Amino acid sequence: MAKKKAESGTTDDLCTEHHHHGKTAKILLLAETEAQRMGEFFAVLSDPTRLRLMSLLAGDECCVCDLAERLDMTESAISHQLRSLRAGRLVSYRKEGRQVFYRLHDHHVLELYQTVREHLAE
Amino acid sequence: MAKKKAESGTTDDLCTEHHHHGKTAKILLLAETEAQRMGEFFAVLSDPTRLRLMSLLAGDECCVCDLAERLDMTESAISHQLRSLRAGRLVSYRKEGRQVFYRLHDHHVLELYQTVREHLAE
DNA sequence: CAAATATCTGAGCGTATGTTCATATATTCA
DNA sequence: TGAATATATGAACATACGCTCAGATATTTG
């Protein structure tokens, strides 16, 4: 059954009781807004093209046209993806003449990338 | 410019040369198939509902109807999402009578979840 | 067995997303 | 200044995805 919600009054049962005594607690239901933010973060990492870009930038900074050549994709597509990576604060950039050199934002990002890559390599 | 591809023959230049001497190396262009797999992994983590489910399971195992009640969503929606989490090997489950109790697959998953959550809490 | 409970599943709908294409902006160079 | 280079951007299109709804299993209970 289960129409949509019943809300029988007892909101706390079974899985919730250990929140009262603070022991294994502090692992609480993620708030909607926080879940949203966290989801957006992972969403940036959920695209193969963006991950490949990050794998290139993990080595050294690189300009857009080189990235495009390496991935054999149009510079437009790459530019769009770098925009997402920028918005997600996963990369930084520096302008030099007409070129723009991108790099991973910080070591935090590199570590996350490598951790997951190794995790999946099993 | 940039039509689509030029492939001037030199596939390795600039960012790639430090792969020869193994030092900062081992950071190579992610292959398409590997990028795909890695992307799918992050994609599972990119949905707010799935993250909230994981936040509940981080505390203790829980059955579907309780999860649905806690998130105030239909059991159908939750079941669909648990299916994704199962496919991504992020959760395991155990059947007991007509109930199915889900839990995080391993500590690896919990650590990743907590690491990112803290990272975004800054 | 029939009714109730717990979960799963497929189709369908609305929305989000990645790429292409055309174009805009900015910088270098002749 | 005008042509060429490097990057960014918006519209459009095709695909992917989350939720709902209806219904299918499966298990317990009367």
Report d(CA B87, CA B21) in Å as an integer.
39
Report d(CA B11, CA A2) in Å as an integer.
57
Q: Which two tokens stand for residue A86?
A: 């920028």
Range with the poorest average pLDDT among A87-96, B38-47, B111-120 = B111-120
Q: Which residues, 6 or more positions from B93, have their beta carbon under 8 angstroms from its beta carbon?
A: B82, B86, B100, B101, B102, B103
CA distances from B102 to B35, B94, B112 (A): 28, 7, 18
pLDDT at B96: 97
Which residues of A are less than 8 Å from B76 in CB distance? 2
Angle CA(A99)–CA(A105)–CA(A109) in degrees, nearest 5? 135
Mutate to test the interface with B, among A20, A42, A75, A110 (most CBs of B within 10 A): A42
- The beta-carbon neighbor of B18 closest among A50, A51, A59 is A59
Q: How far is B76 from chain A (nearest CA, A)?
A: 8
Report d(CA B50, CA B80) in Å as an integer.
10
The verdict on domain B32-121 having CATH code 1.10.10.10 is yes
Q: What is the largest CA-CA distance in chain B?
A: 64
pLDDT at B52: 98
User: Within a 13 Å sphere around the CA of A65, how many CA atoms are in the beta-carbon half?
Assistant: 7
| B39–A46 C-beta distance less than 8 A | yes
Domain ranges of chain A: 32-121
Report d(CA A8, CA B51) in Å as an integer.
25
Q: Which nucleotide is nearest to A46 (CA to C1')?
A: C17
| A24–B59 C-beta distance less than 8 A | yes
Q: Which residue of B has its CA nearest to A6?
A: B69
**Per-residue DSSP letter, B20:** T
Cite the DSSP H helix spans in chain B: 32-44, 48-57, 64-71, 75-87, 107-121
pLDDT at B121: 87
pLDDT digits (tens, 9 = 90+) for A29-65: 999 999 999 999 999 999 999 999 999 999 999 999 9
Kindly tell me if the per-residue pLDDT of A14 is higher than 80: no
Confidence of residue B122 (pLDDT cuts 50, 70, 90): confident
**Per-residue DSSP letter, B30:** P
Q: How far is A89 from chain B (nearest CA, A)?
A: 11
Compute the mean pLDDT over every residue in chain B, rounded to the nearest whole number: 83
pLDDT at A27: 66
- The beta-carbon neighbor of B108 closest among A28, A112, A119 is A119
**Per-residue DSSP letter, A29:** P
Q: Give me the mean pLDDT over the A10-35 stretch.
A: 56
Nucleotides of D under 7 A from a protein CB: 5-11, 17-23, 26-28
Indicate the SS3 state at residue B78: helix
pLDDT at A28: 87
pLDDT digits (tens, 9 = 90+) for B14-50: 333 333 333 344 568 999 999 999 999 999 999 999 9
| CB-CB contact of B113 with A27 (8 Å) | no
| B32–A52 C-beta distance less than 8 A | yes
pLDDT at B2: 36
Range with the poorest average pLDDT among A70-79, B2-11, B64-73 = B2-11
pLDDT digits (tens, 9 = 90+) for B95-109: 999 999 999 999 999
pLDDT at B26: 52
Protein B1 CA to nucleic acid D1 C1', in Å?
Answer: 22
Strands (E) across chain A are located at: 62-63, 91-96, 99-104
Kindly tell me if the per-residue pLDDT of A6 is higher than 80: no
